[in-house]
Structure 1
Amino acid sequence: MKKFSLLIMIVLILVLATSCKKQVFDGNRTGNNEQFIMDYSVLNKTDTQEMDLEEGTIIDVIIEDESGRVDILVAEVDGDEIYRGDDASSISFSLEVPKTGTYKFSVTGTNAKGSVSFRVRK
């Protein structure tokens, strides 16, 4: 009987431990060389997308912050930043690529809900 009670306690602890685990991502993501789009009801991680871009390319950016914290970074892969938004609020704007190269678009969420969109203007 003691073994059975111990087994039940272990199972309950495992169930509680897995149900309390923080959800990392619940949403949709699309990324390629012309766009990086995420919409999420839960974002607790960093997601990135690289794009090969020509000098003068315009990137249209939309950030919709519903709750939590979202940090945005757009930089050349060698590290030169062209945009940083720490604890970004809802905003729409455009970025012009300063020189030809590979750029990394990073979105980091902490209990975040909302969406981000980076699209190459045609």
Structure 2
Amino acid sequence: MLNRKKEILIAIIAIIMMIIIGQSYIIHNQARFDGDRVCSKNPNRFYLNFNLMNKDDSETMALNEGETLHVSWQIDGGKADIVITMADEISIYRADKCVKGENADFELTVPKTGEYTTTISASHAKGWLEVKAENSESGIF
């Protein structure tokens, strides 16, 4: 009888531990974004600094032919895809499956006037992304 009670107690404790571990896993995977997102103050800048990102995020900028886009990013954990496209056309920049330690810092010349969308798709990612437009006439980012 005493052994049966011990078996039941051990089974109950095991079930409780499985529930706790399962809930912790679910909560961690449901965390979609922990960080800072800046774009509304400056329509020509998209900036994300993320401690944890498990989602897609994008920002669209109206750009003129000849303007310069300064693109920089760094992935410190997890993985991310980064794409810059104009409307439904092919991308002008694409970086797939970027992982810890990968980064970039470069400039792109806008090929034609239109709306350009920068999209980052992240999974358990940590890092940052910044895209700034420079007006070729003013030289200001």
Q: TM-score, normalised by structure 2?
A: 0.72
Tell me the equivalent position of 1:20: 25
Partner of residue 115, structure 2 = 102
Counterpart CA distance in 2 for 1:18 and 1:48 is: 30
| Corresponding residue number in structure 2 for 1:51 | 61
Of Structure 1 and Structure 2, which has the larger fraction of its residues in helix? Answer: 2
Q: Once the two structures are superposed, what CA deviation does each residue of 1:55-81 show, in whole Å capped at 9, x if it has no partner?
A: 011011111111111110000112321
SS of residue matched to 2:97:
coil
Gaps of 5+ in 2: 1-14, 135-139
- 2:37 matched residue in structure 1: 29
Q: Give me the whole-angstrom Cα distance separating, in 2, the residues matched to 1:91 and 1:52.
A: 23
Q: Can you give the 5+ residue segments of structure 1 that lack an aligned partner in the other structure?
A: 1-8
Counterpart in 2 of 1:90? Answer: 103
CA distance in 1, matches of 2:93, 2:54: 21
- CA distance in structure 1 between the aligned counterparts of 2:56 and 2:122, rounded to whole angstroms: 6
Q: Does 1 or 2 have the higher relative contact order (CA < 8 Å, sep 6+)?
A: 1
Number of matched pairs? 112
Q: Give the root-mean-square deviation of aligned CA atoms.
A: 1.9
Percentage of identical aligned residues: 31
1:62 partnered with 2:72 = yes
Aligned to 1:74: 84
Kindly indicate which of the two structures has a greater share of residues assigned to strand. 1
Point out 4+ residue stretches in structure 1 off by more than 3 angstroms: 15-19
> CA offsets per residue over residues 42-64 of structure 1, 9 Å max, x none?
01100000010000110111111
Structure 1 length-normalised TM: 0.82
Q: Please give the per-residue CA displacement for 1:67-99, whole angstroms capped at 9, x wherever unaligned.
A: 111110000112321000002321101111100
